[in-house]
Amino acid sequence: MTACVVGVGNAFRGDDAVGLEVARLLTGTVDAPVVEYEGEPVALLDAWEGHDRVFVIDAMQSGAAAGTVRRVAAHSEPLPPELGRTSTHLLGVAEAIELARALGRLPAETVVYAIEGERFEAGSTLSPAVAAAAAAVAASVRDELGA
């Protein structure tokens, strides 16, 4: 299986950058392309084109404690509504995944790691709980990839 990792986020909105941080932690440590993605999530369909295994990492706002991690096998089931959050984009990751499913462009194995954020203000940095969760998720993805 050819795998790729996509860290989604906004580098200028605090914990929203957690997907980007996980991507940075994985770059050069796994035998798979690692992409930092800050654009419209619908373009994820192109980012994972040609891969049959993909890991997507993004922040969530579900009301859980900061740093809470949810792992969802999105190829088997839609993302739970509580993982949805107000996106700074026209479509969020969940909508992009469902669009890919409808178009037959969802990789055979699509795993989403959602990390609960605490602060999303412009100019803020990762909160300590979210930074710790980023390291844990990077280790989990590394294990799943067999690195």
Mean of the per-residue pLDDT values of the chain: 90
Please report, rounded to a whole number, the percentage of residues in the chain having pLDDT higher than 90.
71
> Which residues are CB-contacts of 3 (< 8 A; sequence separation ≥ 6)?
32, 51, 52, 53, 54, 55, 145
Give the residue-averaged pLDDT of 7-23: 95
Q: For residue 97, is it left (φ>0), alpha (ψ between -120 and 50) or beta?
A: alpha
Query: For 38-77, how does the pLDDT look when each residue is reduced to its tens digit (9 = 90+)?
Result: 877 778 888 899 999 999 999 998 889 999 999 999 999 8
CATH number at residue 129: 3.40.50.1450
Query: For 73-106, how does the pLDDT look when each residue is reduced to its tens digit (9 = 90+)?
Result: 999 988 776 665 544 444 678 888 988 999 999 9
Query: Is the pLDDT confidence value at 124 over 80?
Result: yes
Structural domain boundaries enclosing 7:
3-144
Question: Which one, of 83, 69, 66, lies nearest residue 129 by Cα?
Answer: 66
Residues 29 and 57: their CA atoms lie apart, in Å, by 16
Q: How many domains does the chain have?
A: 1
Hey, what amino acid is at 48? W
pTM: 0.91
> Which residues are CB-contacts of 126 (< 8 A; sequence separation ≥ 6)?
14, 15, 17, 18, 21, 134
Least-confidence region, from 28-32, 68-72, 80-84, 122-126: 80-84
Count of alpha carbons within 13 angstroms of residue 125, beta-carbon side: 2
CA angle 53/57/42 to nearest 5° reads 75
Pairing of strands 109-116, 69-73: antiparallel
Query: Is the pLDDT confidence value at 114 over 60?
Result: yes
- pLDDT for the residue numbered 84: 57
